[in-house]
Amino acid sequence: MRIVVVGAGGLGGPIAMATGAAGADVTIVDPDVVELSNLHRQVQFGGDDLGAPKATALAAKIVGRGGRARGRAARFEPGNADQLAADCDVIVDGSDDPRTKFVVADWARARRRAHVIAAAVRYGGNVFTSAPGAACYRCLFEDPPDEAPTCGEAGVLGPLVGWVGGIAATRALRLGGGDPAVAGTIWIVDDLRTGKAARELTLARRHGCACGAA
């Protein structure tokens, strides 16, 4: 199973490490380097990783545990998406950039690839899952927001990214294993502090969305 994980931070770390431990061949794409301010929520990194490219440092952690992984120090863009992800079975977005999430989702829809889009900020998060024939990311969110806070700007509760990342990894592995039952769903935790159970919604395709022709 070949999985591409976009983002090597608070979400991408748990996603990549969990899918790598499960035996997937993982490619990690992230343009950033490890900074001291990352360490409280990006538990895959330590002080020795400061200044290193996140993608290659995370890949090294997976390989060191007996997995298969490679890092690509790059931003996932329309112009390089085919080069970075052409051979994947599933692509997972764990970035904190709304624009990147739409790039990943649009590429996956156009290339008919199963995909997972994970998000977490402050105290809540969600995991959107899709595959050919199911509702796409633009059925739910038509366009990227003009402004949206990142984890670095708004903060995020450390345990939250582990939980959301674990759900995203599980769904990616299910899709990669041929289980389409989670496609067209979104898993949501509104506020980790409240203790309320997470919820899951099944989505219908939005009338007029481009995925209707896919």
pLDDT in tens, 74-103: 999 999 999 999 999 999 999 989 999 999
Residue pLDDT, tens place only, 104-127: 999 999 999 999 999 998 889 999
Q: pLDDT class for 152, splitting at 50, 70, 90?
A: low
Alpha helix (H) residue ranges in 34-178: 54-64, 81-85, 98-110, 137-140, 151-154, 158-176
Mean pLDDT calculated for residue range 197-206: 93
Write out the DSSP string of 58-86: HHHHHHHTT-EEEEE-S---TTTHHHHHT
Q: The tokens of 79 are what?
A: 């112009």
Boundaries of every domain in the chain: 2-213
Q: Which of 90, 155, 88, 151 is nearest to 119 (CA)?
A: 151
**pLDDT over 90 for what percent of the chain?**
75
Q: pLDDT class for 154, splitting at 50, 70, 90?
A: low
CA atoms of 209 and 214, how far apart (whole Å): 10
pLDDT higher than threshold 60 for residue 214: no
The set of catalytic residues is: 151
pLDDT of residue 163: 92
pLDDT higher than threshold 70 for residue 150: no
Which architecture characterizes domain 2-213 according to CATH?
3-Layer(aba) Sandwich (3.40)
Residue pLDDT, tens place only, 28-37: 999 999 999 8
State how beta strands 90-93 and 68-72 pair: unpaired
Please tell me which residue, 42 or 61, carries the higher pLDDT value.
61
Q: Residue 149's Cα: distance from chain center in Å? A: 17
Mean pLDDT of the chain: 92
**pLDDT over 70 for what percent of the chain?**
94
The single residue listed with the structure tokens 């959107």 is 128
